Amino acid sequence: MTTTLTREEIFRLPKTDLHRHLDGAVQPELVIKLAKQLGVKLPTYDLAEFTKLYQITEPKGMPIDQLFQRFAWAIAVMRTPQGLCQAAYEQVLDLARENILYAEIRFAPGYHGVYPAPWYKPTAYEEPLFPIMSLENAVINVLSGLASGIAETGIEVNLTLCIPRESLFAHGPKSVADIAKLAVEFQDWGIVAIDLACDELSHSPYHYAQAFRSTIGSRIRRNPHAGEMGVDAYRLDCIQACITQLHADGLGHALPIWQSDYLMAWARTKNIRIERTPLSPVDGCSLADGHLDVLLDYKVPVVITSDDPVLMRASLTDNWLAALNYHNFGAKEFWQLTANAVNHGFFRSAAQKKRVQQLFVKQGLDRSLLMK
């Protein structure tokens, strides 16, 4: 089956990307450039050689630790204020190049300083070791880089803070509570949500309910990954826990949600957006298993996202093309899915929501698809 839209047309059409990890979206050229500037050890500084090691082309069967380890080079060059700010700035330029007019970028502030990933060994990458960046400093540097890019391109970008699940066991409950608190402190400055990320198989969502609930009453939304890993029964339980215990406003992946009328009804009536990355290798075969068409028919607010576009070597445009081809969708479905994203963005203000709507209407989105 094929779509009526060409790759070139999709590339040029206005898009959103509501689930995009900063550390999965750093171009290999930038990793090498920053590594040379900052003193980060890479196995090679040759672009072609490094790209082969850095990008994941055969994820199937790769142990999850090894999968995460590929992120370490990108994180290493973002463990200084200069590197983190530069990467955030370049990220916005990359978004604008692909005509992504609104994006929500996510990152784990602790990974860049006080709460490193268990698989990140500073001595393997940093020479000399970088000073530890505080959580606040990490957030300020990303926001500052994003702001420069926004000023230059005119697109809109917000930031989501990730809580890596393993942080609870590696660094204790404070490492989880700190991120929720930080998000609320920065809610006027471009932080719009918190996320629960990384190894879902070994960590039940229930452990994180308290931190997620601590944001209720603020403008911070709750946007955990859920239903990405494991067998369907486990994934459905995680989705249910994220909705009922973590009070999710959005769910990353939620692959088997279509199997449960009850969860589908909940997502539709509560306007819980479902973020799908059709080419994501982590969630198995999301094109075949995800039933994007069923979600659309059921009027669940489903959106197309890129997750880790550089590391997984699948841009947002590639993901769109795969989804449209697989389901034999055309322009009608492209605009419906795009309207879902514009209608369910986690905007920092009513004024920003209006600006985003105007950007899309100017480039062809039918006003009648927009929710008030």
Residues lying near Zn ion in the complex (CB under 5 A) are found at 252, 307
CB of 13 to Zn ion, least distance (A): 23
Which C-beta is closer to Zn ion: that of 286 or that of 317?
286
d(CA 43, CA 247): 43
Backbone dihedral angles phi then psi of residue 99, each to the nearest 5 degrees: 55, 40
Which C-beta is closer to Zn ion: that of 249 or that of 307?
307
Which C-beta is closer to Zn ion: that of 109 or that of 252?
252
d(CA 108, CA 189): 17
Which C-beta is closer to Zn ion: that of 77 or that of 282?
282
CB of 44 to Zn ion, least distance (A): 28
CB of 223 to Zn ion, least distance (A): 10
Which C-beta is closer to Zn ion: that of 35 or that of 161?
161
Task: Write out the two tokens for 359.
Answer: 């950007």
Which C-beta is closer to Zn ion: that of 285 or that of 371?
285
CB of 363 to Zn ion, least distance (A): 26
Tell me the β-bridge partners of 17.
103
Which C-beta is closer to Zn ion: that of 164 or that of 301?
164
CB of 16 to Zn ion, least distance (A): 15
Give the residue nearest to Zn ion (CB).
307
CB of 194 to Zn ion, least distance (A): 13
Which C-beta is closer to Zn ion: that of 166 or that of 307?
307
CB of 303 to Zn ion, least distance (A): 13
d(CA 50, CA 45): 6
CB of 267 to Zn ion, least distance (A): 18
d(CA 222, CA 188): 16
CB of 279 to Zn ion, least distance (A): 13
Which C-beta is closer to Zn ion: that of 28 or that of 252?
252
Residue by residue, what is the 3-state secondary structure of the chain? Answer: CCCCCCHHHHHHCCEEEEEEEHHHCCCHHHHHHHHHHHCECCCCCCHHHHHHHHCCCCCCCCCHHHHHHCCHHHHHCCCCHHHHHHHHHHHHHHHHHCCEEEEEEEECHHHHECCCCCCCCHHHHECCCCCCECHHHHHHHHHHHHHHHHHHHCCEEEEEEEEECCHHHHHCHHHHHHHHHHHHHCCCCCEEEEEEECCCCCCCHHHHHHHHHCCECECCEECCEECCCCCHHHHHHHHHHHHHCCCCCEEEECHHHHHCHHHHHHHHHCCCEEEECCCCCCCCCHHHHHCHHHHHHCCCCEEECCECCCCCCCCHHHHHHHHHHHHCCCHHHHHHHHHHHHHCCCCCCHHHHHHHHHHHHHCCCCHHHCCC
- As a residue count, the chain comes to 372
